[in-house]
Amino acid sequence: MKSRFYPLFAIIFAAAPAAADVTISHGYSAFGDLKYGPDFRHFDYANPDAPKGGTMSQRQLFGIPTFNSLNAFIVKGDYAPEVGVHMYDSLMVRANDEPDAMYGLIAETIEYPDDYSYVVFNMRPEAQFHDGEPLTADDVVFTVNALKSEGHPYYRNLLSDLTDVTAETPHRVRFDLAPGAGRGFLGDLAGLSILPEHFYEGTPFGESWMTIPVGSGPYIIDNVDAPRSIKFCRNDEYWAADLPVNAGRNNFDCFAYEYFADDTVGLEAFAAGEYLFRTENRAANWANSYDFPAAVRGDVQKILIPDGRPANAQGIWFNLRNPVLQDVRVRQALEYAFNFEWTNATLFYDAYKRTDSFFENTDMEAIGVPEGAELALLEEFRDQLSPEIFTEPAYIPYAGSEAPRDRAALRKAGQLLDDAGWSVSDDGLRVNAAGEVLRLEFPEDSRSLERVLIPFIENAKSIGVDIVFEVLDPAAQSQRREVFDFDLTLASWAVSVTPGAELRAFYGSNAATTDGSNNLSGLADPVVDALIEKVAAAESREDLTVAARALDRVLRSKHVWIGNWNGGGHRVAHWDVFGIPSEPAPFDFFRNVDFWWFDAEKYQAMVDAGTLADRF
């Protein structure tokens, strides 16, 4: 390790009594009180007596079909997301039964003033990386600077309100924040994975690689066979195993992930006992495909885990970088081609609700006409918004009909295209005054969604829009999306319970021109930018809700997507060899699996019966 010079004034400051306007705490919540006190022993949803052992074997996370990199923090390559989940610790971790509360992991305490102009984390001196090197404030500084300069565009947008980061002592790090950065930004900083500076002295941060990374988290990579599988096993020297935030957590000896590009093959492998846990993303499978022998016997269980988070922002996104799609009438016409009601009844067994909002299933969703505080906020931008924002209810898309082809809706779509200057040629395709065909490219890498998208494409073709749909291999799809080489794309991402600065990465103007960003639509709108900043700078949950409703209303008026569907819960199938906590964790994106445990007795019974192989 390099020797460091720490200014004497910083060390003196660290030992001085805190000023009256500075909060020092074991935890942090942007809005409201903390549920757990400084002496809490474990989260309520954890079982501190859960046994350790066994393997949690499951399909790849997020349905990502392939990987060729273990560098989880840059845009290059297709990284395995499981690396970021299991290998790195953060300064603080979220409590999954509170909307925005965080408690110390690497950091023992957090300090911040009433004006939120800076935040200090006092770090545990015992924190260390997998190779035994101490984890210090210099590693935090390195992490932040690397993410800001070479990290994925998501991080660069997220950290844009950070003016400076300083290692004041080996175990005290200070972040200086721009005015208006907002309360939620402290939580964003607290949740960053902390990387080892010494590891990157010989490994380029900005490149894709398959080198086994070094972290400080509970698991290390045991085996990797790209792009087929990756396995993480317990770090027996894990420094934070006995902290309260980890009580009843990390109970499995190993986490193993099997990658399947074809989900049908993945389901067959699950039925055969090749892996033990499966999140079911297809409603048709959930309704019809769990009739294999193990499920009929009861060896495989189906459960629906409630989800208290906002629904994912899933939809077919329009690429407004294409001049053709900059005409809102073209986008509105294509919305009429998506028949949700027929799709839901015929293909999804009525399992879903239509997604209207970017904050679906929350009180941040805009409803009706704007009133009260939301109206007052929108008034600031009246001269930049369409009059309908103030007089019409928040936009709700065409729902569809029971018939696969809704003639009334398609007539409306045709009229919109006529008005936009796209007339029907002799061959039935729409052309503009220059004779150019209205042709749009729609690449996709999931054959399982092809049956959902084809009816939409056929409806579009019936009104003269030539959508070229192509199923690509995952690597090619990733490369095209990275440079926005598409006109339509299907994508989904998680929405925070307490949204803030991360919204810049999805809807902000700066992200619109950054390759690899999450702003797939290319939306660049000053009102949207301003409302994102209002959300980020909210000083109360009420202010946040008002600003998010205004943002939702304006985003919906822009017609940047065709909102898809949501189910309100996690469909999970698992072989009955696990223990599951009885207390729910409503805000856990990962279905609380970190707190499950392996039931060795149930597993051995299945092995003895020949139901499962002795491999977990």
pLDDT band at 4; cut points 50, 70, 90: low
Q: What is the per-residue pLDDT across 425-442, written as a single tens digit (0 to 9) for each? A: 999 999 999 999 999 999
The pLDDT of 345-363, averaged and rounded, is 95
CA–CA separation, 144 and 3 (whole Å): 20
Q: What are the start and end residues of each CATH 3.10.105.10 domain in the chain? A: 313-495+561-566
For residue 515, with 0-12 CB atoms within 10 Å meaning exposed, 13-18 middle and 19 or more buried, which class applies?
Answer: exposed
Q: What are the start and end residues of each CATH 3.40.190.10 domain in the chain? A: 8-41+50-201
Whether domain 313-495+561-566 has CATH 3.10.105.10: the reply is: yes
Residues 6+ apart with CB under 8 A from 506: 313, 493, 518, 519
Evaluate if pTM is beyond 0.75.
Answer: yes
CA–CA separation, 534 and 517 (whole Å): 22
* Per-residue pLDDT at 9 exceeds 70: no
Q: What is the per-residue pLDDT across 77-126, written as a single tens digit (0 to 9) for each? A: 999 999 999 999 999 999 999 999 999 999 999 999 999 999 999 999 99
CA–CA separation, 467 and 33 (whole Å): 52
**8 A C-beta contact, residue 57 and residue 258:** yes
Calculate what percentage of the chain has a pLDDT beyond 70: 97
Residue with tokens 């209303």: 553
Average pLDDT, the chain: 94
- How many whole angstroms from its chain centre is CA 542? 24
Q: For 8-41+50-201, which CATH superfamily applies?
A: Periplasmic binding protein-like II (3.40.190.10)
Kindly provide the b/e burial profile for residues 10-24, where b requires at least 16 CB atoms within 10 angstroms of the residue's own CB: eeeebeeeeeeeeee
